[in-house]
Structure 1
Amino acid sequence: MTISTTALVRAGLAVATMLMLFGCATQPKPLYYWGDYQPQLYAYFQGDGKSPEQQREALEKTAAQASARGAALPPGFHAHLGLLYLRMGQPGPARTAFMAEEARFPESKPYMDFLIGNLNRTQAGAP
C-alpha cells in the first residue's frame, strides 16, 4: 500500500487549514478591565510619592475607561479607591466605594464590613 503524493499534499493542506483556523480564533473577552490599575496599585505600595488625590484621579480615569467599554472593574478596585478617599479625609465617598466593592464582590463582605465598622467608630468618636 503506497500513499500517493496527491494524498499527502491534500492531508498537509487540510492540517495547515485547520491550524490556521484555530490560530485565527478570537480570544475570549477579558472578565475585567484592568487599565492602569495594577501599575497604580504597585506604585501605591512602593510609595511612589503621588498624593492620594493624584492616585484617586488615576483610578477614576481607569473607571471611566471601563465604563466607556462596558467592562467590569477588577476585585479590590473600589476598596482601594475607598482607602484613598479615607486618606483624603472623605469618609462619605469612602463608604460608598466600600459598599460598591461589597455589592460587586460579595466575598469581600467581611473585609468591607470591617472597614465600614472602623469608619463608623472613627466618625462616632470624632467631635
Structure 2
Amino acid sequence: MSKMFMSLRVVTAVALGSAFLAGCAQQPKTLYQWEGYEPQVYQYFEGESKEAQIIALEGDLQKIRSTNRLAPPGYHAQLGLLYLSAGRDDQMVQEFNTEKTLFPESTAYMDFLLKNAKKGS
C-alpha cells in the first residue's frame, strides 16, 4: 500500500510540475497586431465621424509599427477608404498601394477601388 501511495505522489508531483511549467511557457506571438481595428470597422458602418476613425486607426498604426509588427489584412484598405471619404486622395492612394504591397491577393480589389475613386464613384 505504501508503494502505491508513493507512486501516486510521484505521478501527482509530475503532473503538477508539468502544469506549472506549461503555464509559464511564453505564448506565441500572433502574426498581426490588431489594436482597435475591428471596433473601428464596426464604427465605420455605424456612422461614427470619419475623422475620429482616421485618428484612431493612425494612432493604432503607430503602436503597431513601434512593436515591429504588421497591421492585419484590410487595415490599410480601411484607412484608405476613410481618407477617400475625407477627401485626402493622396493618402488614400498611398494606403491602397500599401495594402497591395503587403497583401498581393488584394491587388484586384485595391485597383478596383482606385479606378472608381478616380472616376468619382
The yes-or-no answer on 1:69 pairing with 2:67 is: yes
Percent identity of paired positions between Structure 1 and Structure 2: 40
> 1:16-95 to 2 correspondence within 5 Å?
16-48=16-48, 50=49, 52-95=50-93
How far the C-alpha of 1:120 sits from its partner, in A, is 3.1
Which sits farther off after the overlay, 98-107 or 9-18? 9-18
How many Å separate the matches in 1 of 2:60 and 2:11?
Answer: 49
How far the C-alpha of 1:121 sits from its partner, in A, is 3.2
**Number of residue equivalences:** 120
How far the C-alpha of 1:30 sits from its partner, in A, is 1.5
Residue segments in structure 2 that go unaligned for 5+ positions in a row: none
RMSD of aligned C-alpha atoms? 1.7
How far the C-alpha of 1:23 sits from its partner, in A, is 2.2
What is the letter of the counterpart of residue 93 of structure 1? Q
Partner residue in 2 for 1:97: 95
How many Å separate the matches in 2 of 1:97 and 1:59?
Answer: 12
What is the letter of the counterpart of residue 66 of structure 2? A
Among 103, 107, 112, the residue aligned to 2:105 = 107
Q: Describe the SS at the equivalent of 1:4.
A: helix
How many Å separate the matches in 2 of 1:61 and 1:18?
Answer: 41
Q: Describe the SS at the equivalent of 1:28.
A: coil
Q: Describe the SS at the equivalent of 2:87.
A: coil
TM-score (normalizing by structure 1)? 0.86
How many Å separate the matches in 1 of 2:82 and 2:24?
Answer: 42
How far the C-alpha of 1:38 sits from its partner, in A, is 1.1
Residue segments in structure 1 that go unaligned for 5+ positions in a row: 123-127
How many Å separate the matches in 2 of 1:33 and 1:10?
Answer: 42
* Deviating 4+ runs (over 2 angstroms): 1-4, 119-122
Per the alignment, do residues 94 and 111 of structure 1 end up closer, same or farther by CA in structure 2, a change over 3 Å counting? same
